[in-house]
Amino acid sequence: MSNILPFSTPRLNSLNRIGPHNYDILSIIIGSLLGDGSMEKSKDGSRFVFYQAKVNGEYLLWLHNVVSSLGYAKKELPVLYSRKGSILVPSVNDIRYYYRFRTFTYSSFDWIYDSFYPKSTRKVVPKNLDTYLSPLALAVWMMDDGTSFKNKGFKFCTNSFTLKEIKYLALVLKNKYNLDSSIHKSGLNNQYNIYIPKSSFKDLKKIVSPHFHPTMYYKINNF
């Protein structure tokens, strides 16, 4: 038996996990970073954190199955966590339940972290996003942070990004997939969302539907 370890095993030092990385894992990470996902960086490398509320538990477990099957996370199933309060509802009596899991740490993930967190604080939209926004990445972004409106269109909840970054996202959607969109205020100060009109939604659905998890079909079947 060979004593050479695969590059994605827990026992292998993160500095030696150099890839090349599976394109699907990059798509999932990029798509989720546009949505609910985040990254953590240490002196040894970077890792990705997947997070979903309990109501989206099946979707999170599906993501875990894909990521762990590709060798990027432990096989053990994510457990349910709880915390008091939230950013929007800070009451100590408000208990929120969520699932979370992390990938292994990779020094070769640092470029993704540095692209999305150039100042190690606020998450931004990287300038080379068009290269990595694959149909799978677009689907994960929609499942993470999108909402459909019956017979009207689809909204990407881009509240955490700047208006300049959101305009770039809209440009990528147009140039890469020929999807029309418009930008509207979210109702909160300096926060904006991208809207895909009904006229472009059929094209969007064709692009992403092969990659959607069944529990998320409601987001694309309102038309």
pLDDT, tens digit, for every residue of 5-36? 344 444 444 444 445 578 899 999 999 999 99
Architecture of domain 1-117: Roll (3.10)
Q: Which CATH number fits domain 125-223: 3.10.28.10, 3.40.50.300, 3.30.1180.20, 3.40.50.11310?
A: 3.10.28.10
Written as tens digits, the pLDDT of the chain (223 aa) is 333 334 444 444 444 444 557 889 999 999 999 999 999 999 999 999 999 999 999 999 999 999 999 999 999 999 898 886 554 444 456 788 899 999 999 999 999 999 999 987 799 999 999 999 999 999 999 999 999 887 789 999 999 999 999 999 999 999 999 999 999 998 888 899 999 999 999 999 999 999 999 999 999 987 6
Can you give the pLDDT at residue 11?
A: 47
> Tokens 């060979």, residue?
2
What does the alpha-carbon distance between residue 140 and residue 143 come to, in Å, rounded to a whole number?
5
pTM for this prediction: 0.85
Q: Tell me the CA distances in angstroms from 21 to 71, 95, 110, 171, one per residue in order.
A: 10, 38, 13, 27
Q: Domain extents for the chain?
A: 1-117, 125-223
Q: How far apart are the first and last CA of the chain?
A: 55
